[in-house]
Amino acid sequence: MDQTLERVTPESVGIPSKAIVDWVDELERIAPDVHSIMVLRHGRVAAEGWWAPNAPEMPHALFSISKSFTSTAVGLAIAEGHLGLDDPVVSFFPDEAPANVSPRLAAMKVRHLLAMCTGHDEATVDVVIPGDRSDLVRGFLAFPIAYEPGTRFVYNTPATYMLSAIVHKRTGLNLVDYLQPRLFEPLGIARPNWEEDAHGISMGGFGLRLRTEDVARLGQLYLQKGEWRGQRLIPAEWVEAATSRQIDTGPNLNPNPDWLQGYGYQFWRGQHDSFRGDGAFGQFCIVVPGADLVVAMNSGIGPMHLAIESLWSLVLARLQPEPLPEDPAAQLALTARLAGLRLVPQSGPAGSPMEADLAGAEFTFAPNGFGLGSVRLEFAPCGGALVMSGEGGRQPRRLEFGRGAWQAGDAAVVRQWPGQHLTTDSAWIDQPLVASGTWPRPDCLEIDVCLYTNAYRYTLTLDFAGSQLRLAVHVNVAFGPTDLGVLVGRRGAGATPIG
């Protein structure tokens, strides 16, 4: 079956082309790291754009949009009789449960995992998801439960992992294998990558990578109450339950209106009677049933609420119930705007007189949290490279950068940088990057590194003073501090990190 989505002009589905242009302008004003958008109305693609080097065929890290796919797997498993909403969580894991099961743990049901109301009083990520991902079920079941399950909403990514573990336990399949014939293939989605724990269980709450259009297809499927091209993929009852308010959300997590409309089964409720899959730093699958509208987006944005609010004010408010007269001039302007989307490197002088002295220079560091033993500088007419090695010179990795322009590479060079917690879709698989170098001062080299199929954009600032190098690392978005630390090194001699 042909799975191609129909492409149409915005006006033919009641969207002014100028509204999309205005929204793109506003997104770029909000943050420099918007990666892709796709707007569907009446099931047809009215606008789409990728900020190069992003491209339509490239899967992007989805962060917590992964949860909405996990929810879909749970709904299908319930429909097939593998489990029920009111099954106790401990009933699936008798060998991993504590010796003494507390009354609150005994009362925790599958529906509480889905609606993020497990009774915990804080997110359990740091305790439940250790670095080796070896025994996550046992860790979750051992975590203290402060409240009666079902009474309070606390955003809880390990609860989604538990849903994945339950599906795995009852079906014998991880989420990718389970969803492949039931969801991915019927929707025309190529078999995706999904991060796993040490036992091959999909992480559930994060770690899925898909194309922007794949995300839009999920949104359209839910808008259509689980039907796709005449075939029922998801029970309509599950779609209704998953996207309805199952529990109230409070202002403690996020005080913005689109996070205060309630939570379903791994879907957020939003303003304008909308619902959405929602991933950190601006990954969105937004569905507005009353407007027959689906919007998919990937980015690296900190103020996520601004992206949604701009969609409401600049696009939703200007939709018309009937087709608009075709507007060739506006459509041409939109086509040009979308075709010209680019991620822009930092600007500044592309060279420095110090390069002659620094070429081939190697600076060594004392043991540090970056896992960095030394760096060596190389320069060429078109750019340069930072050769980074672990302690004792182990595993040297090259970060090549252009002169004021992007140079392509891969994320192996940043695998051990701090700030990429396991729950942030960090670089467990190599991811493409582009890097660019500028000299804001003759003694300061800045390297701009963009992981453009993820949310992260790093700035390495190298300040040189005599035989000393001060290396600072900043990231555009993070679950913690964005200033990740400072190292001080010397040519041929280690030094203690100062930040």
pLDDT in tens, 339-389: 999 999 989 999 999 999 999 999 999 998 888 899 999 999 999 999 998
Number of CB atoms found within 10 A of residue 251's CB: 9
Dist CA 459 CA 388 (whole Å): 15
Asked if pLDDT for residue 71 goes beyond 70, the answer is: yes
Q: pTM, whole model, 2 decimals?
A: 0.94
Q: Which domains does the chain have, with CATH numbers?
A: 10-339 (3.40.710.10), 355-491 (2.40.128.20)
**Confidence class for position 396, pLDDT limits 50, 70, 90:** confident
Q: Give me the count of residues in the chain.
A: 499
Asked if pLDDT for residue 492 goes beyond 80, the answer is: no
Dist CA 263 CA 244 (whole Å): 7
pLDDT number for residue 129: 62
pLDDT number for residue 370: 81
DSSP reduced 3-state for 388 = strand
Query: Following DSSP, what letter does each residue of 188-227 receive, concatenated?
Result: TPPPPEE-B-TTS-B-SSS-EEE-HHHHHHHHHHHHTTTE
pLDDT in tens, 249-286: 976 667 899 999 999 999 999 999 999 999 999 999 99
Mean pLDDT of 173-179: 98
Dist CA 30 CA 171 (whole Å): 44
Asked if pLDDT for residue 43 goes beyond 70, the answer is: yes
pLDDT in tens, 409-420: 986 666 545 444
Strand ranges for 121-266 from DSSP E:
193-194, 208-210, 227-228, 231-232
**Encoding tokens for residue 114?**
């889905």
Report how far Cα 426 is from the mean position of its chain's Cα atoms.
10
User: 211 vs 71, 192, 469, CA distance in Å?
Assistant: 19, 9, 40
Nearest to 324, CA basis, from 16, 7, 6: 16
pLDDT in tens, 419-428: 443 333 443 4
**Encoding tokens for residue 102?**
């507390």
pLDDT number for residue 417: 57
Average model confidence (pLDDT) across the chain: 92
How buried is 64 (Cβ within 10 angstroms: 0-12 exposed, 13-18 middle, 19+ buried)? buried
pLDDT number for residue 397: 86
